[in-house]
Structure 1
């Protein structure tokens, strides 16, 4: 059974639906902490964290544990009032369930596109050899109208069949597929297994200070035939994977 504390008070709900304030509260979930310690851990301004801590205490989400005496002003130590918190959708003010994670999704998407473009442009400068990169419209061997991006002299083949762009450690595949329900369930299971395999690797590297961060996007959602058709700028079948660059060793 969940040990999360339900939060429905409007003031507390406003705090828990604010990204930075959630971060501040999260710094106190593992145990007792000072404002200065939380600010260092989160790399946030001390005054900002102090203001958030006061608000969290007033809302009943943080509590003052004790004061450590020292020369001058005593240091206050705080702790979260529960190991976890739960805000019901019905009290968030969101019009739809999807809105709850919309802000995070937008920030993640924006950063991914910026990071991908930055790295792709670097690889293109190094490997392009003066060739032009652009949008192509052509009839694919399978008979469908294809819209994609590639070099001007590249073969008229979808990147999902043979990638012909600059090589590097990045990948951006945005495509629509047609599957049976059983096949879609297997794809979903494969993606979940991948995430589960990557989590312990991530935690190990973060604990050791090794590796480097990468953004990973995975998704699967059913759409209508009309929605899929709307993805195609040519009015035919939806385009295949967007420009992508696999590992240079592949």
Structure 2
């Protein structure tokens, strides 16, 4: 289980690192990956968006130039994983609707496809995932029915309980920041860890089945907390 947040660059990077680790795991074909919801900036209203650089400058009390340097450091981490990353022009906003649409995608067996497209649109392309029309197009690209996607976005309660249930579960598991990965409800991995940490965790979880209590593996990695604050690596 990996809580998913589209405004969190470490979730984008962490997903790529996890997938590299999973590809090296001998029993990878027997692993089921489920993405769970975790909101950043849940108090922000729908439609209230800001440029990421401006948000970072305000949040951390930095100049716009300093905020741009912070983004450049994160971009270097993304690019090292082979990911596209735009440091200018990206929006920041409330992610609740994206999570609701991801639950529709999960019900239709297209969750990872939509998540991958949403990350790419948000971090690498000139498409704002806080625009309903963009979300509908992404849903169609992921293989979902357009009318059904529009219906979910038009109804603020559609899949809302599923999102809240994920958030409650994350809290119960001790996930105060994301990305946060849980293996067999036993092992917890916090932050965008290197791929070798995921290989080790997968091997340990496989060896120790059945699962019991949650055990942390590795030092805490870079992450974004529920207040929307994202750690920035040192240059």
Give the greater-gyration-radius structure (CA): 1
**Smaller-chain TM-score bracket:** under 0.3
Higher helix proportion: 2
User: TM-score, normalised on structure 2?
Assistant: 0.23
Higher RCO structure (Cα 8 Å, ≥6 apart): 2
**TM (normalized to structure 1)?**
0.22
